[in-house]
C-alpha cells in the first residue's frame, strides 16, 4: 500500500517498507546521515537524520521512523538544524585526526600540498600542477620565491628536515612545460559580466584567473610596462627568471584575460569611468612605497628605498652603487637588496638589523646564502643618523641595542644600550624596513584607512563603494608575502563572482579536525635527508644574475616527494562527518573535555587498519561485514565510552579481506583504511 506525504513541500509516495529516510532518497531529497546504509538493518546510531513532523511533539530519526499518510515533514527547521549541530558537536568533541595536513592549513591559499606532493611521487606531474591551479596560478614562479609557510608546519622536520614543498611545486610546473604539455585553464561559459582589475601583480593575476574560470570577462590594468607586479619588479632575476613568469602570465592571458599596460589610475584611467563601465572593479595595486626611518640625514643623496631600488633593476636599469652599501631591515626584501648589491659590484655590503638573527623575518636560506656571498650582518644595531658631504651620504651612526621584553609581535623588543654607538662609512643606504600603499591620489579618501591602505570588509573584500572590491598588499593589513596576497585575491574573486550573480557569500574559514604531534610519534620513521637543490656555488653567484638553482631532477623530485608522512586524512573528500560539520557550522569546543586516547587496537589483517580515535561508532563496518558479506571479522570490544571496533578472526580474514574492503568504503569518517599491497606489513594501529 502506498503512503502519500510531503517532505519540505515535495509530494512523496512511499511503500509500507520505507522509512522517511529511504523514501526521501527515492524522491531525490537528501537527509544527512552517518550510520545508514541500505545494505544493512536500521541502526539509528548517529542522530544526524532527525526531522520534524507537524503535529508530532518530538523530533524523529528519519532512518527508523515510518511515514504515515498525510505526514508533513520538515528537514531543515531551526529546531532540526540545532539538534543536528549538537549531535555533530558531541561526535567531534571526541574525534581526533588530521582532516588536512598541517602544510595545507599553514598555506594562506590553502594549497593541497599533500595531494600534489603525492602526485609528484607517483609521476603524475600534470595532475600535480592541476592541484596547485585549484588554489592559485603561477606555480613555477611562487614555487621559486615563496617563503613556504607550508614547510614551517611540515611534520617531517620532527624526523629530520621538512619536505621541499615549494621547490616540488616549481619542479612539476617546469616539467610539464618542458614536456610540451602546459596547463590550460578551463573556463565556464561567459556570463556577460565585466570586471576591471587595477594591478597586474600576484593578487591581480590570481583574481583574473579565477574570474575567468567563473566565466566573467576581465581586463587587468597596470602602470608598468609588463604584468607581474612585485614578482617582476621586486624580486631579482637570480631568484625568479622573468621568462618563467612570462610563461605563467601567458596561461592566464590565453584563458581570456585582457591585459593593458602603461596606464595609471588617476591619470590615463579615470576611477569613476571604470566603475561605470564595468560590473565590478578590483583594486589590487600592491604596496610600492618604502617606509622611512625618520632619522636625520634620510634625505641625503644615496639613501633610497629598497623597493624603489629593486623596481629600477626590474625595469632594466643598473643602479649605480658605491663600494660600501648598507641595507636597513631584516625581511626578504632586505635580503634581495643586499644580495643584489653584491651582484652590482659593491665590495662591502652590510645588513643593519635592530634585533638578533633569531628574530629576523627573512627566510633562513636567504640569510645563509647572503652570508655565503659575503654580506656582513650587523645585528642589534639601529641607524640613528646618516651624514654626508656635498649632499651625498658618506656614513651612518648606529645605536647599539639589546633585547628587552616581547612586543605585540611576540618578538623581544630592542632597546638602546645607553651611550653605545658605532659609526660606519658607506656610499649608499637601501631602506628595507617595510613598505606601504601609495594610492591616495588615485582613489577616493572615503575608502582609505589612516595608513593609506584601502579599507574593505575582510570577509567579502567589498569597500564602501558599491561595486568596488580590494585585495592584496593594498588592503587593510598592508604588505605581506606574495602567497598572502594571492590568498586574498582567491577569496575576493569568489566574492566578486557571487556579487555579480546577485548573492553575497562571505569568505569563511572551513572547520577542520586537527591533532598535535610530537617527535616521539615519529621515532620509528626511517630517516631520509632532504634532497639538496643543485645550483651555483657562492663564488659563481656573486658576479651575475643567473638563476642560482638548477631545479630538481625527476629522480630527486620523486625521492623528495616520497618523504611525505601523509598527515592529512586519506578519506577527506568522501568524509561525510566533515561535510556535515561545515554545513552546520559546528563548534565542538562547546563540549570540550579530555579527549580519548584509546589503547592500540590490533586490526583484522595487514590489509586494513582502523583508527579508533577517528571512529564515531556508527557500526557500518561490522554491520556490512556481517549483514552484507556474511562474515564476522569485525565486532565491538568493551562497553560504554570505551567501546571500540575490534577484529574477531584475524587468521581467516588475512586472505579474504584483500578482495573485499567493503568496510573501508562504508566508513563515513576515514577511520578504516586499506594498506596498498606494496607497503603491507602486519601492523598495530
pLDDT tens for residues 366-378?
999 999 999 999 9
Q: Looking at the structure, tell me whether residues 416 and 303 fall in a common domain.
A: yes
In this prediction, residue 266 has a pLDDT band, given cuts at 50, 70 and 90, of confident
CATH number at residue 615: 3.30.70.20
Judge whether 635 and 574 are in contact, CB under 8 Å: no
pLDDT at position 649 is 58
pLDDT at position 685 is 31
pLDDT at position 679 is 46
pLDDT tens for residues 388-428?
999 999 999 999 999 998 887 787 889 999 999 999 999 99
pLDDT for residue 253 is more than 50: yes
Share of the chain above pLDDT 70, in %: 96
Share of the chain above pLDDT 90, in %: 77
Q: What are phi and psi of 399, to 5 degrees?
A: -85, 125
Residue range 60-85: average pLDDT?
96
Residue range 457-484: average pLDDT?
92
Count the domains in the chain.
5
- DSSP one-letter string for 121-171: HTT-HHHHHHHHHTT-S-HHHHHHH---HHHHH-GGGGTSS---HHHHHHH
d(CA 16, CA 3): 7
Judge whether 385 and 298 are in contact, CB under 8 Å: no
Q: Is residue 268 part of a domain?
A: yes
pLDDT at position 606 is 65
Q: Is residue 97 part of a domain?
A: no
Least confident of 170-184, 376-390, 526-540, 649-663: 649-663
pLDDT for residue 682 is more than 50: no
Q: Looking at the structure, tell me whether residues 85 and 106 fall in a common domain.
A: no
Q: Looking at the structure, tell me whether residues 76 and 123 fall in a common domain.
A: no
Residue range 43-66: average pLDDT?
94
pLDDT at position 597 is 74
pLDDT tens for residues 614-650?
899 999 999 999 999 999 888 888 877 778 887 665 6
pLDDT for residue 658 is more than 90: no
At 463, list the grid cell.
Answer: 569597500
Q: Looking at the structure, tell me whether residues 245 and 297 fall in a common domain.
A: no
Q: Looking at the structure, tell me whether residues 423 and 451 fall in a common domain.
A: no
Q: Is residue 574 part of a domain?
A: no
* Closest to 451 (Cα-Cα) out of 442, 464, 438, 432: 438
Q: Is residue 573 part of a domain?
A: no
CA dihedral 29, 35, 39, 40 (to 10 degrees): -130
In this prediction, residue 681 has a pLDDT band, given cuts at 50, 70 and 90, of very low
pLDDT at position 604 is 47
Q: Is residue 39 part of a domain?
A: yes
C-alpha dist (Å) from residue 170 to 137, 268, 482: 12, 37, 15
Judge whether 427 and 323 are in contact, CB under 8 Å: yes
pLDDT at position 335 is 97
Q: Looking at the structure, tell me whether residues 311 and 398 fall in a common domain.
A: yes
pTM for the model stands at 0.90
pLDDT for residue 600 is more than 60: no
d(CA 570, CA 574): 9
Question: By three-state DSSP, how is residue 12 classified?
Answer: strand
Tell how far CA 474 is from the center of its chain: 20
Residue range 257-271: average pLDDT?
93
Judge whether 266 and 198 are in contact, CB under 8 Å: no
In this prediction, residue 653 has a pLDDT band, given cuts at 50, 70 and 90, of confident
Q: What is the overall mean pLDDT for the chain? A: 92
Residue range 311-324: average pLDDT?
93
pLDDT for residue 603 is more than 60: no
Q: Is residue 441 part of a domain?
A: no
Contacts of 57 (CB under 8 A, 6+ apart): none
Q: Is residue 631 part of a domain?
A: yes
pLDDT tens for residues 561-571?
999 999 999 88
Contacts of 368 (CB under 8 A, 6+ apart): none
* Residue range of the domain that includes 657: 596-679
Q: Looking at the structure, tell me whether residues 296 and 426 fall in a common domain.
A: yes
Q: Looking at the structure, tell me whether residues 80 and 139 fall in a common domain.
A: no
Q: What are phi and psi of 648, to 5 degrees?
A: -115, -40
Residue range 290-309: average pLDDT?
94
pLDDT at position 610 is 83
CATH number at residue 421: 3.50.50.60
pLDDT at position 563 is 97
Other CB atoms closer than 10 Å to residue 622's CB: what's the count? 21
Q: Looking at the structure, tell me whether residues 258 and 334 fall in a common domain.
A: no
User: Of 412, 435, 458, which residue sits at a domain end?
Assistant: 435
Q: Looking at the structure, tell me whether residues 214 and 151 fall in a common domain.
A: no
d(CA 419, CA 400): 9
Q: Is residue 138 part of a domain?
A: yes
Q: Looking at the structure, tell me whether residues 627 and 657 fall in a common domain.
A: yes
Q: Looking at the structure, tell me whether residues 548 and 668 fall in a common domain.
A: no
pLDDT tens for residues 115-172?
999 999 999 999 999 999 999 999 999 999 999 999 999 999 999 999 999 999 999 9
In this prediction, residue 267 has a pLDDT band, given cuts at 50, 70 and 90, of confident
Residue range 484-508: average pLDDT?
91
Amino acid at each position: 500500500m502506498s503512503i502519500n506525504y510531503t517532505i519540505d513541500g515535495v509530494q512523496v509516495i512511499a511503500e509500507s517498507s520505507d522509512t522517511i529516510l529511504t523514501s526521501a532518497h527515492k524522491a531525490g531529497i537528501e537527509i544527512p546521515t552517518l550510520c545508514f546504509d541500505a545494505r544493512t538493518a536500521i541502526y539509528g546510531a548517529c542522530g544526524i537524520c532527525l526531522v520534524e513532523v507537524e503535529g508530532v511533539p518530538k523530533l524523529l530519526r528519519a532512518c527508523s521512523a515510518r511515514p504515515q499518510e498525510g505526514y508533513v515533514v520538515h528537514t531543515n527547521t531551526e529546531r532540526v538544524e540545532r539538534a543536528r549541530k549538537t549531535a555533530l558537536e558531541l561526535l567531534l568533541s571526541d574525534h581526533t585526526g588530521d582532516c588536512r595536513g598541517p602544510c595545507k592549513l599553514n598555506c594562506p591559499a590553502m594549497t593541497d600540498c599533500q595531494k600534489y606532493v603525492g602526485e609528484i611521487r607517483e609521476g603524475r606531474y600534470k595532475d600535480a600542477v592541476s592541484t596547485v591551479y585549484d588554489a592559485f596560478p603561477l606555480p613555477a614562479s611562487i614555487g621559486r620565491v615563496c617563503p613556504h609557510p607550508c614547510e614551517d608546519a611540515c611534520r617531517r622536520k620532527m624526523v629530520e628536515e621538512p619536505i621541499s614543498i615549494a621547490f616540488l611545486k616549481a619542479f612539476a610546473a617546469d616539467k610539464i612545460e618542458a614536456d610540451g604539455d602546459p596547463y590550460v585553464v578551463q573556463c565556464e561559459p561567459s556570463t556577460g559580466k565585466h570586471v576591471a582589475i587595477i594591478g597586474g601583480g600576484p593578487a591581480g593575476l590570481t583574481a583574473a584567473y579565477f574570474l575567468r574560470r567563473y566565466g566573467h570577462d576581465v581586463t587587468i590594468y597596470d602602470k608598468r610596462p609588463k604584468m607581474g607586479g612585485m614578482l617582476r619588479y621586486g624580486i631579482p632575476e637570480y631568484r625568479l627568471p622573468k621568462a618563467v613568469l612570462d610563461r605563467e602570465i601567458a596561461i592566464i592571458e590565453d584563458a581570456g584575460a585582457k591585459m593593458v599596460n602603461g596606464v595609471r589610475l588617476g591619470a590615463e584611467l579615470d576611477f569613476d569611468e571604470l566603475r561605470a563601465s564595468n560590473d565590478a572593479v578590483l583594486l589590487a595595486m600592491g604596496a610600492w612605497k618604502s617606509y622611512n626611518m625618520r632619522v636625520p640625514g634620510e634625505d641625503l643623496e644615496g639613501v633610497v628605498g629598497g623597493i624603489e631600488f629593486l623596481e629600477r633593476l626590474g625595469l632594466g636599469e643598473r643602479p649605480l652603487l658605491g663600494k660600501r652599501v648598507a641595507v636597513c631591515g631584516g625581511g626578504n626584501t632586505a635580503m634581495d637588496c643586499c644580495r643584489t648589491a653584491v651582484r652590482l659590484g659593491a665590495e662591502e655590503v652590510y645588513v643593519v638589523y635592530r634585533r638578533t638573527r633569531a628574530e629576523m623575518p627573512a627566510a633562513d636560506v636567504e640569510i645563509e646564502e647572503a652570508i655565503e656571498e659575503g654580506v656582513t650582518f650587523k645585528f642589534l644595531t639601529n641607524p640613528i643618523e646618516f651624514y654626508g658631504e656635498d649632499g651625498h651620504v658618506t656614513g651612518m651612526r648606529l645605536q647599539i641595542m639589546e633585547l628587552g621584553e616581547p612586543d605585540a609581535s611576540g618578538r623581544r623588543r630592542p632597546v638602546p644600550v645607553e651611550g653605545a654607538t658605532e659609526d660606519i662609512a658607506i656610499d649608499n643606504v637601501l631602506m628595507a624596513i617595510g613598505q606601504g600603499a601609495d594610492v591616495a591620489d588615485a582613489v577616493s579618501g572615503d575608502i582609505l584607512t589612516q595608513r593609506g591602505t584601502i579599507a574593505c570588509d575582510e570577509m567579502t573584500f567589498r569597500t564602501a563603494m558599491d561595486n568596488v572590491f580590494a585585495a592584496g598588499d593594498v588592503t587593510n593589513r598592508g604588505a605581506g608575502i606574495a602567497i598572502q596576497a594571492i590568498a586574498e585575491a582567491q577569496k575576493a574573486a569568489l566574492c566578486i563572482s557571487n556579487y555579480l550573480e546577485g548573492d553575497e557569500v562571505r569568505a569563511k574559514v572551513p572547520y577542520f579536525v586537527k591533532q598535535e604531534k610530537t617527535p616521539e610519534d615519529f621515532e620509528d620513521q626511517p630517516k631520509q635527508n632532504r634532497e639538496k637543490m643543485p645550483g651555483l656555488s657562492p663564488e659563481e653567484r656573486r658576479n651575475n644574475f643567473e638563476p642560482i638553482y638548477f631545479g630538481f631532477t625527476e629522480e630527486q623530485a620523486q625521492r623528495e616527494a616520497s618523504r611525505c608522512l601523509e598527515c592529512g586524512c586519506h578519506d577527506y573528500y568522501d568524509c561525510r562527518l566533515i561535510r556535515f560539520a561545515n554545513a552546520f557550522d559546528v563548534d565542538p569546543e562547546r563540549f570540550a573535555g579530555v579527549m580519548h586516547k584509546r589503547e592500540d587496537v590490533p586490526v583484522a589483517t595487514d590489509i586494513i587498519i582502523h583508527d579508533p580515535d577517528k571512529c564515531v561508532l556508527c557500526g557500518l563496518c561490522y554491520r556490512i561485514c556481517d549483514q552484507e558479506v556474511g562474515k564476522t571479522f569485525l565486532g565491538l570490544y568493551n562497553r560504554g565510552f570505551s567501546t571500540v571496533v575490534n577484529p574477531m578472526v584475524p587468521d581467516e580474514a588475512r586472505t579474504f579481506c584483500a578482495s573485499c574492503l567493503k568496510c573501508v568504503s562504508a566508513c563515513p569518517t576515514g577511520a578504516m583504511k586499506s594498506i596498498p599491497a606494496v607497503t603491507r606489513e602486519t601492523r598495530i594501529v
